[in-house]
């Protein structure tokens, strides 16, 4: 590999995943950098591996001295497009009507852009870098990521809030290297505003992600925040949501009859990335497909569970953070009845799908989960009056380098209360900790699957 650089041109380079150094010489007014690589082993693909750009041998060369040069370049392209006109001002006035606080107004503007501007990627020629005018985006009601950020910033300007374009490499691309300023370090654009706690990032291309939340692909990424007015760049990093912000939850109240029939009301609750996933599913589904989805969810609690009715949260409203699905129904043959005993698996999810994510025993590359998570259950089971608890379930606690699992039981008369909480505290797991991830997921599924209630018939 050879790179020719004019002798009078400033440059710097950086190698990644390689120890080979270049031969440097001058040739006809150029500085020539030559790298020679032999016997380069292939990169074997693994599920959920980092992007190829973070694993392959590569060299990045730049003629830019700092990120302010990149910021000025983008500011020149975007400055005119960010100006609001009367139509934008009138639109902002309508959508913020009745909103008293600045936060309420910002949220209303965010929701409008996220839900009313269709995301369409248009990266041809200069438009791969230059956004369309905010006025054009509002009129056409579609645009790419740059157009989304541009319209959002223009609308915020109407209410006196300064917005910043943010150039970002998503999780599918190599993370930005702050030491090597290049405009090609990014594959996406979002927006930000300044708050007391630093920058608040907003990505309206995700129409199922509420205000103050970020899609998983935008989290934990080094970014360039562009101050267009000053033509300056600020190198920063987007936050990673903690496990308690990404919750897959379950709550239920059940009743077990003396003949093994289970009746109950239960609710699947989704927050953070899980609410985005579920909101997206519901928004793109017909009523019949939603019914099938609810049946599938109920079957995870008990195969053959008959759904009598269900209710949904207002998933179309981005101001409603949690998405939930509430179910009422019964399973006529839930418990196994013998002459003296009644046995039943406790009615709670076991999250068995995570087992397939860690089927391999070992890994060579980091495992990119994409987000931290927690899975919580709180369930009550009312026991039949003619039976008593034969074996009292035991509490359980497990912890390793990547997370933990805790199970608690409480007996209150005929009410058996159960709670579980699995926490994954890393969004990217290095190869040396992959066995911990595998152990955490497998232990969670096995332990939840093995929560059996054994009841003994009372003596008459």
Over the stretch 308-339, which tens digit does the pLDDT of each residue have?
999 999 999 999 999 999 999 999 999 888 88
With bands split at pLDDT 50, 70 and 90, how would you rate the model's confidence at 393?
confident
Q: If DSSP codes are grouped into helix, strand and coil, which group holds residue 458?
A: coil
State the Cα–Cα distance between residues 74 and 65, nearest whole angstrom: 16
What percent of the chain has pLDDT above 70? 98
Q: Answer whether residue 33 shows pLDDT above 90.
A: yes
Average pLDDT value for residue range 89-94: 97
Place of tokens 């008459």: 460
Q: Compute the average pLDDT of residues 204-224.
A: 96
The dihedral of CA 106, 108, 111, 113: what is its sign? negative
Cross-strand pairs, 327: 266, 310
- pTM of structure: 0.91
What pLDDT was estimated at residue 277?
96
H helices within 20-133, ranges in order? Answer: 67-78, 86-95, 102-116
Alpha-carbon torsion, ordered 168, 174, 177, 180, to 10 deg: -100
For the chain, the average pLDDT equals 94
pLDDT bin (cut points 50, 70, 90) of residue 121 is: confident
Alpha carbon distance 325, 310 (integer Å): 7
Q: Which domains does the chain have, with CATH numbers?
A: 2-62 (no CATH), 67-237 (3.10.620.30), 243-457 (2.60.120.1130)
Q: Which of 56, 53, 57 is nearest to 174 (CA)?
A: 53
- Neighbouring C-beta atoms of residue 160, cutoff 10 Å: 8
User: Three-state DSSP class for 156?
Assistant: helix
Report the pLDDT value the prediction gives residue 458, as an integer from 0 to 100.
Answer: 85
Check residue 127 and give its pLDDT.
64
Q: Is 459's pLDDT higher than 90?
A: no
pLDDT digits (tens, 9 = 90+) for 278-305: 999 999 999 999 999 999 999 999 998 9
Q: What is the pLDDT of residue 304?
A: 87
Is the pLDDT at 188 greater than 70, yes or no? yes
State the pLDDT at residue 256.
Answer: 94
């Amino acid at each position: 590999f050879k790179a020719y650089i004019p002798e009078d041109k400033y440059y710097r380079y950086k190698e990644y995943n390689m120890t080979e150094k270049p031969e440097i010489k001058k040739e006809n007014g150029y500085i020539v950098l030559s790298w020679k690589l032999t016997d380069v082993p292939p990169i074997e693909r693994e599920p959920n591996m980092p992007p190829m750009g973070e694993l392959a041998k590569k060299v990045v060369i730049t003629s830019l001295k700092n990120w302010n040069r990149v910021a000025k370049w983008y500011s020149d392209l975007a400055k005119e497009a960010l100006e609001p006109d009367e139509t934008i001002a009138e639109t902002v006035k309508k959508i913020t009507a009745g909103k008293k606080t600045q936060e309420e107004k910002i949220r209303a503007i965010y929701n409008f852009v996220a839900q009313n501007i269709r995301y369409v990627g248009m990266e041809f020629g200069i438009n791969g870098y230059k956004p369309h005018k905010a006025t054009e985006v509002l009129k056409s009601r579609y645009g790419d990521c740059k157009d989304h950020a541009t319209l959002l910033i223009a609308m915020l300007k109407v209410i006196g809030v300064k917005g910043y374009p943010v150039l970002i490499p998503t999780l599918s691309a190599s993370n930005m290297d702050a030491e090597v300023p290049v405009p090609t370090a990014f594959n996406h654009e979002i927006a930000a505003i300044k708050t007391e706690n630093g920058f608040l990032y907003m990505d309206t291309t995700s129409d199922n992600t509420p205000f103050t939340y970020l899609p998983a692909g935008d989290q934990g990424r080094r970014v360039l925040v562009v101050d267009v007015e000053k033509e300056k760049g600020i190198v920063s990093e987007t936050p990673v949501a903690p496990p308690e912000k990404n919750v897959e939850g379950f709550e239920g109240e059940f009743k077990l009859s003396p003949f093994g029939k289970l009746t109950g009301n239960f609710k699947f609750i989704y927050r953070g990335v899980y609410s985005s996933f579920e909101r997206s599913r519901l928004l793109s589904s017909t009523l019949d497909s939603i019914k099938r989805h609810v049946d599938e969810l109920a079957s995870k609690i008990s195969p053959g569970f008959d759904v009598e009715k269900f209710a949904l949260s207002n998933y179309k409203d981005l101001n409603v953070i949690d998405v939930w699905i509430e179910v009422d129904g019964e399973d006529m043959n839930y418990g196994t009845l013998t002459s003296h005993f009644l046995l039943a698996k406790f009615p709670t999810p076991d999250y068995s799908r995570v087992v397939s994510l860690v089927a391999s025993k070992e890994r060579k590359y980091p495992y990119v989960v994409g987000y931290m998570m927690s899975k919580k259950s709180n369930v009550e089971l009312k026991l039949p009056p003619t039976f008593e608890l034969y074996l009292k379930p035991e509490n359980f606690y497990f912890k390793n380098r990547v997370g933990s699992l805790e199970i608690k039981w409480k007996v209150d008369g005929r009410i058996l209360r159960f709670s579980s909480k699995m926490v994954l505290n890393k969004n990217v797991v290095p190869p040396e900790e992959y066995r911990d991830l595998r152990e955490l997921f497998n232990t969670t599924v096995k332990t939840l699957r093995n929560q059996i209630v054994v009841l003994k018939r009372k003596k008459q």
